[in-house]
């Protein structure tokens, strides 16, 4: 019996030692496992914080300048005022419309006089010679030609302090023995300042520019 009691004490002591060893292992192992799991979490938090800092400190995109909305006066860049340019454009349109308006049974001299009301003396004389020439008169009478003109300024080709060239679109409603027709031409009309007004100095087909003799009258626009 005494030996059995001693054996039980030995077994008990052994169990205590084993349990203590297991407790120490679990304590050490559990702590190590916790640290290994915490490290990735801390690293992710640091990366997230760094990303937020990069977003905050990143430079803002460059703003592209836009129009201020302030009024832009193009006439301040031209060598003549708005009123002067408007007056010249009005003369160019009215002259081109008159240039395309004539009829076979009208006195050619009356047609020439209408044109001379818009032109310089030199151009008026040239046009008068053309529209009163026997060849022009005979052709218009043979065709019984009646033309009614209208005009619209299309663009400014050239401008300086005392002259301006407009491209003018002229439209004529024409009636002849062959029947009615609509004809459209583009003219380069040069105006020069004479006193306080404007006079037509030259007229040419727009694609021919302003070189050569002035354009002709009724026959020339056919």
pLDDT value of position 217: 43
25-39, 40-54, 205-219: segment of lowest average pLDDT: 25-39
Tokens 């020069």 appear where? 192
pLDDT(75) > 90: no
Domains of the chain: 79-208 (3.10.450.540)
Write out pLDDT tens, residues 162-218: 999 999 999 999 999 999 999 999 999 999 999 989 999 999 999 985 544 444 444
- Using a 10 angstrom Cβ sphere, with 0-12 exposed, 13-18 middle and 19 or more buried, the burial of residue 215 is buried
pTM: 0.65
List pLDDT tens digits, range 90-145. Answer: 999 999 999 999 999 999 999 999 999 999 999 999 999 999 999 999 999 999 99
d(CA 154, CA 136): 29
């Amino acid at each position: 019996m005494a030996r059995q009691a001693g054996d039980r004490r030995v077994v008990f002591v052994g169990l205590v030692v084993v349990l203590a060893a297991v407790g120490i292992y679990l304590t050490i192992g559990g702590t190590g496992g916790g640290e290994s799991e915490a490290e990735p979490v801390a690293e992710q938090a640091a990366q997230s914080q760094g990303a937020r800092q990069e977003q905050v400190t990143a430079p803002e995109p460059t703003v592209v300048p836009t129009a201020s909305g302030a009024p832009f006066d193009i006439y301040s860049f031209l060598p003549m005022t708005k009123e002067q340019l408007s007056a010249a454009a009005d003369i160019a349109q009215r002259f081109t419309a008159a240039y395309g308006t004539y009829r076979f049974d009208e006195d050619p001299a009356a047609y020439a006089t209408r044109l001379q009301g818009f032109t310089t003396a030199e151009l008026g004389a040239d046009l008068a010679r053309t529209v009163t020439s026997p060849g022009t008169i005979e052709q218009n009478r043979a065709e019984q030609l009646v033309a009614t003109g209208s005009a619209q300024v299309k663009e400014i080709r050239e401008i300086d302090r005392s002259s301006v060239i407009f491209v003018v679109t002229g439209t004529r409603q024409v009636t002849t023995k062959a029947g009615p027709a609509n004809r459209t031409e583009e003219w380069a009309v040069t105006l020069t300042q004479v006193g306080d007004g404007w006079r037509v100095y030259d007229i040419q087909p727009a694609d021919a520019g302003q070189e050569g003799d002035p354009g002709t009258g009724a026959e020339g626009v056919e």
